[in-house]
């Protein structure tokens, strides 16, 4: 230590840098080599220093200090140097020894395993030389080894601290090369100047009007420099803080306000005899710091993690013995309020590299699993209530695998601002008003309430505004994010670790620490507002590091603003809990502009290639996307009870352009498959995979609102086979009017007997009463979505002027589907009663308005058209407008907005030959589509969302008959008027899109399904317990494989790190290549075993579910109820088939009132119902004799259009038996039809549907083609005699009214029989190398059991004109009757069924056609007037069927 004179100028350069008034000043120089400070464990340093040392020091000043009359003199400067400083906080010796003992045990375990292995090797050698060595000798050797290992452990434990010292520190501060300089200046000297300086440094705090008097007040210009600063927790390898080259400089002031009477406490001083005990008054006011500091840091690293929280809690307990607590009896201030009270001013920090490490492991000694947040060239400004970060932000994921050092997010030139709004009872900045109070001087009003000296200053909660925005710079760098599938899964693990609850550390009566727990800062927030603004953002996602498939998103400007609010909900369950923290979203407003989404795939699938060429495919682009969310707090209903229609979530998308092509399909399926497999593996390896579960068909239990069933337990049989026209079916899907004129072939003796015989069938006939609702109003989805019981609207999705491109695989060109406006609305309804239990109800309602379909017109378009050259439909052609207005010349030439119009940017042919412009034709004009979906949540009152008015009453008996309004999960799709206009090329293109894009099934999924089917048959004869054990064994094996894969990845990571140090090592490169190959093989093995495990668990659950359902059906005798309903209908559709030019018509097809219903019931049966109200086919070819190709006959002129039925198909499926599908009831009803066909129309229509085939060569079939191909047999364009040879031998039991007989082996069937091979039966599988399971699976796939098949007779009028002027096959207005067909209990394939129907109908129709051609019908049955309407007898036939005696039909007439 030395005093330097003023003239030497030791601090001259520092004073010049600080722009001080006085250039030179005298100084003291202190140089200290090493400084060690140690705070032993459980030593109360605060009491010894603050209560004893400081009190004695103040007592000495009180006794010996004399008032000075000399004027104050400027203080000298002070320069202190430390070469090393070590500050240590002691740890508990018991925990130190506990950790050391654990490490010793771990090491001794591995050493004992090595000794055991050596002993086993020696025993094996002895066995080779001495085969008669007894097992007792081996056991004795093993026992001696165990005793020796125990003695070695004891010896090592005793010598544990002989070689190295025991660790003593809990928290360790190490500083190197410290230099601290304080400089006084006349501008900061004197009470008045210091008060002015304090007001400048703390300008936000109000200065008292009466002023302040300070007992301690000083200010210096300081400079603090340290070369290295490190903070260590225990012996963790990762330091808590590590920084280098730190430099602080600026103004620093400190002041302690003079205490008033209540803020003075009396401290006694024991002087010793013969003196009495003296006392000293000490102030309770704290010393406050005022500063304006700047700081430069080269590198700063801070680490934190949940695994360190127990140690940090131990440090806080140790700090209570180091830093004295306030003697004020008020509740202690939390640390954030202490900072607000003691520190005021501005701090600016410039850091070259600022790193925050967040541990993602529960092991505090782990250094490989962590997330790194790095700021580069960052400037940090900390002022009153505001913290600002300005620099480049990078987020890395550190993990011991190939994904290590993966930069996940890069945000250059980013500005992150935190604005803190402390909500207090008074002004949060008025810290001068805080006056502590001594325990013995409390005011009188504190006697009846808890005293709090900080009541007005203490913050109630914190409102924080966080803003993140990018500065507009010309730098080519922009925000980016690179994500991998494994990193997202790693973040799930990190989220699980961070959300864990911290265990209490040294709390409770045992540790003499019963103080209330401090509230963490995470529960002190009240509102957080987050705003993000980015000029551009790029996101790239890859499934794995091999970059086989991924997604790339390019975003333009992104802006988002949201507010979140925290509620602390108290729990009242009889136990002591802290309030539950619940975050809620007040509002969210997000907007994205100019967003492009691309799917990426590697061109090379070779895993050995490190860098692979990447190919990108356009998937979607969005011009503008806006999302808004509002809180439901008090917004569900208004005061008068009316619902507020504003939805909670609102998503609006403008000008969306999407593409679905073959490449997009493959990449999307790959992404989805990888996601599904990862989730399946995670779920199947969990302990919840094989736990017991309840079937959804079980009766709900546990609900206090369950209604008892007092009805008659004797109900109708569930498995009873009934006609779909019966009462049970009519109550659900309704009866068809076709039954009014589709009579039975078995004639009745009289009209009265016919009515009596059909009384039980309850057939429905046409009525002219128009009060019945149309079929659309009886749809389940529409009816349940239209109920007026909506609580609030949750989601509203709107699409404005959107279009989607569809491009097939086998044809050129593409189809564009556009919609002017689409909206999807999700609503939550009042809870309803379902199966005697209250359940929540949710509906989705959507509509697409202004839908249009466009297709390319030209033939021979390049199939590999790049996505950027696609001619999209302009907004003018998508949005709604007047269709009669033509705005420009191209619309005038292209037929404007009508169907069939051509959309093109040019008029006529282009003069530029290189310009290949694409013309789009409107193939479907503007139409509308709606869908309705209703779903119900889990049973129980606790599953119902809060905020409902009240629980509805239970349904009455009358309401139980309302099948439409019963709570059933339903989906309804409604399409209104469709006006279609296509040519042959567009038709082929649409079929290509439907087959290869819409209905495409991934071959891998087909293969997996086949494996699943095989496994189902294999496990049919095994019990659930027999299936459970192999699943558990495979789970353990798969867990071992996953651990092995992680071990190999970690070894690869270590070798990769070693390569950075020695890049030219061939040995390391060979080891890395071998490990990477092992990792790839391990991944493939894990994927294969994971798929096998998933199939085994699925079969196990199916078996268990089937057993549960059987027991449930035996226990309970309930009616069969609806479970799920799917409905598809459209009102009117008109399809014009045109020539290749797209303008000249071929035919018009008109369909109306189409309805398809699929109903799933509680007994696992499924019913399918298809109805078609009206159909007509018109011939548009010139000079055709017949214009009406297909039209229904005998339709009543006054019958409403909504109630017409031309076609009805009904099918009821039972659960498969032994894998074979069961068709319980299959019925087809067809109205009388009239057919008028010409050969020219047939040939033109055939060329339209099959342009690659020649209609003149239909009878020429390739003899090499497989004869058993279903596709060939079902195409309908092969020789008709082919099916004669394929007639099954067993046709089942025919009905009494059927005229079917076995096929005649002779006749025309022999002419071309040599061209085809005889088809073998599909029920009996040929004997080959297939095992029994494969035979069962193949048999079940091919066959199905038809319990009841019924096809009533259909009257048909046929007219046909051949190719020539006169043809032998020409017929005109021939009346034919397709006979009634009925089969019972027969096993067929679909091909066998069609063959039987075709052969039977062909034989009967052929005989009728010959009779009509030769006009040899009996006179009694001759048609008197073909053009006149039906007579009364005809009406009776239509209603009841033929009457009279049963007749035997022959080839040329009937016999009585």
User: Which of 614, 581, 609 lies closest to 599 in space, CA to CA?
Assistant: 614
- On whether the CB atoms of residues 255 and 290 are closer than 8 A, the answer is yes
Confidence of residue 650 (pLDDT cuts 50, 70, 90): very high
In the predicted structure, residue 1429 carries a pLDDT above the cut 90: no
In the predicted structure, residue 351 carries a pLDDT above the cut 90: yes
Residues with Cβ within 8 Å of 913's Cβ and at least 6 positions away in sequence, in order, are: none
First to last CA, the chain: 141
d(CA 807, CA 619): 12
Mean pLDDT of the chain, nearest integer: 78
Confidence of residue 444 (pLDDT cuts 50, 70, 90): confident
User: Which of 1162, 1164, 1153, 1160 lies closest to 1128 in space, CA to CA?
Assistant: 1153
Residues with Cβ within 8 Å of 1132's Cβ and at least 6 positions away in sequence, in order, are: 976, 977, 978, 1150, 1151, 1152, 1153
CA angle 339, 340, 346 (to 5 degrees): 90
Say if residue 1238 is exposed, middle or buried (CB neighbours under 10 Å; 0-12, 13-18, 19+).
buried
Judged by DSSP in three states, 638 sits in: coil
* For range 886-915, the mean pLDDT: 59
Instruction: Identify which of 7-11, 767-771, 1082-1086 has the greatest average pLDDT.
Output: 1082-1086
* For range 808-832, the mean pLDDT: 89
Tell me the H-state helices in 726-775.
Answer: 727-733, 751-757
* For range 177-184, the mean pLDDT: 93
Instruction: Look at 962-976, 1263-1277, 1357-1371 and tell me which has the smallest mean pLDDT.
Output: 1263-1277
Structure confidence by residue, pLDDT tens digits, 653-704: 999 999 999 888 888 888 888 888 888 888 888 877 776 544 444 444 333 3
Confidence of residue 1286 (pLDDT cuts 50, 70, 90): very low
Cα distances (angstroms) measured from residue 995 to each of 922, 1299, 1390: 22, 40, 21
Residues with Cβ within 8 Å of 987's Cβ and at least 6 positions away in sequence, in order, are: 1137, 1248, 1249
Cα distances (angstroms) measured from residue 567 to each of 461, 577, 720, 945: 11, 15, 57, 18
Judged by DSSP in three states, 487 sits in: helix
Spell out the long-range contacts of 631-639 with Cβ–Cβ below 8 A and sequence spacing 24 or more. Answer: 631/565, 631/584, 631/585, 631/586, 631/587, 632/792, 632/947, 633/584, 633/586, 635/792, 636/791, 636/792, 636/947, 637/949
Phi-psi region of 135 (alpha: psi -120 to 50; beta: other; left: phi over 0): alpha
Please give the pLDDT value at position 951.
Answer: 63
Spell out the long-range contacts of 14-18 with Cβ–Cβ below 8 A and sequence spacing 24 or more. Answer: 14/181, 14/183, 14/221, 14/223, 15/183, 15/185, 15/221, 17/249, 18/183, 18/221, 18/223, 18/249
Please give the pLDDT value at position 221.
Answer: 93
d(CA 1078, CA 1244): 62
User: Which of 1385, 1211, 1399 lies closest to 1288 in space, CA to CA?
Assistant: 1399
- The radius of gyration of the chain from alpha carbons, rounded to an integer in Å, stands at 44
Residues with Cβ within 8 Å of 452's Cβ and at least 6 positions away in sequence, in order, are: 330, 331, 458
User: Which of 987, 1247, 982 lies closest to 1136 in space, CA to CA?
Assistant: 982
List strand residue ranges (DSSP E) for 1247-1309, in order.
1293-1294
User: Which of 765, 712, 711 lies closest to 741 in space, CA to CA?
Assistant: 765
- On whether the CB atoms of residues 853 and 923 are closer than 8 A, the answer is yes
- Cβ-based neighbour number of residue 359 at 10 Å: 24
- What is residue 21's DSSP assignment? S
- Cβ-based neighbour number of residue 1298 at 10 Å: 19
- State phi, psi for 316 to the nearest 5 degrees: -65, -40
Confidence of residue 134 (pLDDT cuts 50, 70, 90): confident
Q: Are strands 459-470 and 525-534 parallel, antiparallel or unpaired?
A: parallel
In the predicted structure, residue 1374 carries a pLDDT above the cut 90: no
User: Which of 126, 122, 233, 222 lies closest to 182 in space, CA to CA?
Assistant: 222
Enclosing H/E stretch for 154: helix 135-158
Distance of alpha carbon 1116 from the chain centroid: 38
Cα distances (angstroms) measured from residue 433 to each of 152, 207, 208: 68, 9, 8
d(CA 461, CA 228): 37
* For range 752-767, the mean pLDDT: 44
Handedness of CA 1421, 1422, 1425, 1426 (dihedral sign): positive
Please give the pLDDT value at position 589.
Answer: 94
Please give the pLDDT value at position 949.
Answer: 54
Cα distances (angstroms) measured from residue 193 to each of 185, 203, 782: 11, 15, 81
* For range 1180-1204, the mean pLDDT: 75
Please give the pLDDT value at position 948.
Answer: 55
d(CA 1454, CA 1419): 11
By residue count, the chain amounts to 1456
* For range 521-540, the mean pLDDT: 92
In the predicted structure, residue 333 carries a pLDDT above the cut 80: yes
> What is the DSSP annotation of 380-433?
EEEETTEEEEEEEEEEEEE-SSTTTTEEEEEEEEEEEEEEEEEEESS-TT-GGG
Confidence of residue 955 (pLDDT cuts 50, 70, 90): low
Please give the pLDDT value at position 967.
Answer: 82
* For range 407-429, the mean pLDDT: 92
In the predicted structure, residue 270 carries a pLDDT above the cut 70: yes
> What is the DSSP annotation of 1374-1396?
EEEEEPPEEEEEEEE-HHHHHHH
d(CA 1160, CA 1143): 45
d(CA 589, CA 650): 9
Instruction: Identify which of 575-579, 737-741, 747-751, 1216-1220 has the greatest average pLDDT.
Output: 575-579
User: Which of 952, 973, 899 lies closest to 1128 in space, CA to CA?
Assistant: 973
- On whether the CB atoms of residues 315 and 170 are closer than 8 A, the answer is yes
List strand residue ranges (DSSP E) for 199-277, in order.
214-233, 241-257, 264-269
d(CA 621, CA 862): 23
* For range 257-277, the mean pLDDT: 87
In the predicted structure, residue 1303 carries a pLDDT above the cut 80: no
Confidence of residue 1456 (pLDDT cuts 50, 70, 90): very low
d(CA 1398, CA 1390): 12
In the predicted structure, residue 1360 carries a pLDDT above the cut 50: yes
* For range 221-234, the mean pLDDT: 94
- Say what the pTM is: 0.77
Residues with Cβ within 8 Å of 752's Cβ and at least 6 positions away in sequence, in order, are: none
- On whether the CB atoms of residues 28 and 78 are closer than 8 A, the answer is yes
d(CA 1295, CA 1067): 83
Please give the pLDDT value at position 975.
Answer: 86
* For range 720-738, the mean pLDDT: 35
Confidence of residue 876 (pLDDT cuts 50, 70, 90): confident
Distance of alpha carbon 1321 from the chain centroid: 47
d(CA 459, CA 436): 17
Judged by DSSP in three states, 1186 sits in: coil
Please give the pLDDT value at position 1451.
Answer: 37
Q: Is the peptide bond before 274 cis (omega within 30 degrees of 0)?
A: yes
d(CA 1225, CA 770): 32
Structure confidence by residue, pLDDT tens digits, 917-937: 678 888 888 888 999 999 988
- On whether the CB atoms of residues 830 and 844 are closer than 8 A, the answer is no
- On whether the CB atoms of residues 942 and 908 are closer than 8 A, the answer is no
């Amino acid at each position: 230590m030395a005093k330097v004179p003023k003239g030497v100028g030791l601090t001259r350069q520092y004073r010049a840098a600080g722009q001080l008034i006085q250039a030179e000043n005298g100084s003291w120089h202190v140089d200290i080599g090493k400084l060690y400070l140690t705070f032993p464990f459980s030593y109360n340093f605060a009491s010894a220093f603050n209560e004893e040392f400081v009190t004695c020091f103040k007592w000495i000043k009180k006794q010996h200090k004399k008032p000075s009359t000399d004027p104050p003199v400027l203080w000298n400067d002070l320069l202190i140097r430390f070469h090393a400083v070590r500050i240590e906080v002691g740890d508990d010796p018991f925990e130190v020894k506990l950790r050391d003992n654990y490490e010793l045990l771990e090491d001794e375990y591995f050493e004992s395993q090595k000794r055991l292995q050596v002993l086993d090797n020696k025993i094996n050698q002895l066995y080779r030389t001495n085969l008669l060595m007894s097992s007792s000798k081996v056991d004795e050797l093993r026992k001696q080894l165990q005793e020796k290992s125990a003695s070695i452990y004891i010896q090592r434990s005793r010598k544990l601290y002989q070689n190295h010292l025991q660790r003593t520190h809990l928290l360790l501060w190490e500083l190197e090369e410290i230099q601290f300089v304080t400089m006084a200046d006349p501008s900061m000297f004197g009470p008045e100047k210091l008060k002015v300086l304090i007001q400048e440094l703390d300008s936000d705090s109000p200065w008292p009007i009466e002023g302040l008097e300070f007992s301690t007040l000083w200010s210096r210009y300081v400079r603090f420099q340290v070369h290295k600063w490190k903070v260590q927790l225990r012996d963790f390898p990762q330091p808590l803080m590590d920084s280098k080259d730190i430099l602080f400089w600026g103004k620093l002031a400190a002041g302690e306000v003079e205490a008033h009477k209540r803020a003075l406490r009396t401290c006694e001083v024991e002087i010793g005899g013969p003196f009495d005990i003296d006392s000293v008054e000490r102030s309770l006011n704290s010393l406050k710091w005022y500063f304006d500091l700047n700081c430069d840091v080269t590198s700063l690293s801070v680490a934190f993690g949940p695994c360190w929280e127990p140690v940090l809690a131990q440090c806080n307990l140790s700090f209570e013995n180091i830093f004295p607590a306030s003697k004020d009896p008020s509740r202690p201030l939390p640390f954030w309020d202490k900072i607000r009270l003691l520190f005021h001013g501005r701090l600016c920090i410039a850091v070259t590299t600022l790193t925050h490490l967040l541990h993602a492991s529960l092991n505090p000694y782990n250094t490989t699993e962590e997330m790194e947040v790095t700021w580069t060239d960052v400037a940090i400004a900390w002022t009153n209530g505001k913290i600002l970060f300005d620099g480049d932000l990078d987020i890395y994921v550190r993990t011991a695998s190939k994904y290590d050092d993966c930069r996940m997010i890069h945000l250059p030139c980013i500005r992150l601002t935190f604005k803190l709004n402390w909500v207090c009872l008074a002004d949060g900045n008025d810290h001068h008003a805080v006056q502590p109070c001594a325990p013995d001087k409390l005011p009188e009003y504190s006697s009846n309430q808890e005293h709090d000296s900080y009541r007005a200053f203490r913050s109630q909660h914190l409102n924080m505004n966080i803003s993140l925005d990018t500065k507009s710079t010309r730098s080519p760098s922009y925000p980016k994010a690179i994500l991998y599938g494994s990193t997202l899964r790693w973040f799930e693990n990190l989220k699980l670790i961070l959300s864990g609850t911290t265990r209490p550390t040294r709390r409770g009566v045992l540790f003499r620490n019963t103080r209330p727990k401090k509230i963490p800062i995470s529960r002190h927030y009240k509102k957080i507002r987050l705003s993000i603004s980015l000029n551009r953002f790029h996101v790239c996602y890859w499934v794995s590091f091999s970059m086989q498939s991924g997604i790339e998103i390019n975003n333009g400007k992104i802006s988002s603003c949201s507010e979140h609010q925290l509620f602390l909900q108290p729990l009242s369950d009889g136990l002591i809990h802290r309030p539950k923290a619940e975050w809620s979203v007040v509002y969210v407003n997000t907007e994205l502009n100019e967003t492009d989404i691309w799917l990426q795939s590697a061109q090379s699938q070779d895993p050995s290639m490190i860098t692979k060429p990447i190919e990108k495919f356009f998937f979607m682009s969005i011009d503008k996307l806006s999302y808004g969310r509002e809180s439901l707090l008090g917004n569900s209903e208004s005061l008068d009870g009316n619902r507020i229609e504003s939805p909670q979530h609102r998503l609006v998308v403008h000008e969306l352009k999407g593409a679905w092509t073959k490449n997009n399909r493959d990449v999307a399926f790959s992404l989805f498959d990888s996601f599904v497999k990862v989730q399946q593996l995670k779920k199947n390896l969990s302990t919840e995979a094989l736990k017991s579960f309840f079937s959804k068909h079980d009766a709900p239990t546990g609900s206090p609102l369950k209604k008892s069933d007092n009805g008659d337990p004797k109900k109708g049989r569930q498995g009873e086979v009934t006609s779909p026209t019966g009462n049970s079916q009519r109550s659900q899907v309704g009866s068809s009017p076709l039954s009014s004129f589709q009579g039975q072939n078995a004639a009745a003796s009289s009209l009265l007997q016919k009515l009596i015989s059909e009384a039980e069938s309850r057939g429905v006939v046409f009525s002219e009463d128009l009060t019945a609702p149309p079929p659309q109003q009886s749809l389940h989805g529409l009816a349940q979505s239209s109920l007026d019981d909506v609580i609030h609207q949750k989601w509203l999705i709107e699409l404005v002027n959107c279009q989607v491109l569809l491009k097939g695989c086998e044809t050129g060109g593409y189809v564009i589907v556009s919609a002017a406006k689409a909206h999807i609305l999700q609503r939550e309804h009042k809870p309803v009663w379902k199966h005697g239990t209250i359940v929540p109800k949710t509906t989705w309602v959507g509509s697409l308005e202004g839908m249009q379909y466009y297709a390319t017109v030209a033939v021979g378009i390049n199939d590999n058209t790049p996505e950027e050259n696609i001619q999209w439909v302009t907004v003018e052609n998508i949005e709604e407008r007047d269709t009669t207005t033509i705005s420009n010349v191209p619309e005038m030439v292209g037929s404007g907005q009508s169907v069939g119009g051509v959309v093109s940017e040019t008029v006529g042919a282009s003069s530029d030959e290189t310009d290949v412009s694409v013309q789009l034709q409107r193939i479907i004009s503007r139409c509308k589509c709606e869908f309705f979906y209703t779903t119900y949540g889990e049973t129980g009152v606790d599953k119902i969302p809060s905020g409902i008015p009240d629980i509805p009453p239970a349904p009455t008996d009358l309401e139980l008959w309302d099948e439409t309004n019963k709570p059933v999960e339903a989906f309804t799709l409604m399409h209104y008027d469709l006006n279609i206009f296509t040519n042959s090329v567009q038709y082929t293109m649409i079929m290509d899109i439907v087959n290869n894009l819409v209905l495409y099934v991934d071959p891998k999924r087909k293969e997996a399904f086949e494996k699943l089917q095989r496994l189902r048959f294999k496990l049919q004869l095994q019990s659930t317990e027999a299936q459970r054990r192999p699943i558990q064994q495979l789970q353990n094996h798969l867990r071992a494989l996953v651990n092995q894969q992680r071990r190999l990845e970690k070894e690869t990571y270590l070798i990769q790190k070693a390569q950075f140090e020695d890049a030219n090592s061939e040995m390391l490169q060979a080891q890395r290549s071998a490990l990477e190959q092992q990792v790839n093989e391990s991944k493939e093995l894990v994927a294969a075993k994971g798929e096998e495990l998933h199939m085994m668990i699925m079969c196990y659950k199916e078996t268990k579910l089937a057993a549960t359902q059987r027991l449930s059906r035996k226990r309970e005798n309930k009616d069969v109820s609806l479970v799920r309903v799917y409905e598809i209908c459209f009102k009117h559709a008109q399809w014009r088939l045109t020539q290749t030019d797209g303008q000249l018509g071929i035919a018009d097809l008109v369909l109306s009132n189409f309805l398809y219903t699929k109903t799933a019931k509680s007994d696992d049966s499924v019913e399918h119902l298809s109805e078609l109200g009206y159909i007509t086919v018109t011939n548009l070819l010139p000079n055709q004799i017949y214009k009406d190709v297909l039209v229904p006959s005998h339709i009543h002129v006054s019958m409403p259009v909504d109630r017409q039925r031309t076609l009805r198909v009904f099918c009821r499926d039972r659960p498969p038996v032994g894998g074979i599908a069961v068709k319980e009831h299959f019925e087809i009803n067809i109205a009388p039809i009239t057919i008028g066909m010409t050969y020219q129309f047939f040939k033109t229509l055939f060329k339209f549907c099959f342009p690659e085939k020649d209609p003149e060569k239909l009878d020429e079939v390739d003899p090499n083609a497989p004869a058993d191909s279903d596709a060939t047999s079902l195409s309908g364009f092969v020789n008709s005699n082919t099916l004669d040879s394929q007639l099954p031998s067993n046709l089942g039991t025919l009905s009494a009214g059927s005229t079917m007989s076995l096929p005649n082996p002779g006749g025309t069937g022999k002419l071309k029989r040599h061209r085809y091979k005889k088809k073998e039966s599909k029920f009996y599988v040929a004997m080959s190398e297939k095992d029994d399971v494969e035979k069962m699976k193949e048999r079940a796939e091919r066959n199905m059991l038809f319990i009841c098949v019924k096809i009533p007779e259909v009257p048909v009028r046929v007219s046909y004109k051949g190719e020539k002027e006169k043809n032998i096959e020409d017929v005109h207005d021939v009346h034919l009757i397709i006979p009634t067909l009925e089969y019972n209990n027969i096993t067929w394939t679909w091909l066998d069924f069609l063959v039987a129907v075709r052969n039977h109908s062909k034989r009967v129709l052929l005989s009728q056609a010959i009779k009509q051609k030769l006009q040899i019908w009996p006179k009694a049955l001759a048609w008197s007037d073909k053009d006149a309407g039906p007579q009364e007898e005809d009406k009776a036939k239509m209603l009841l069927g033929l009457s009279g005696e049963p007749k035997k039909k022959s080839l040329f007439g009937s016999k009585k």
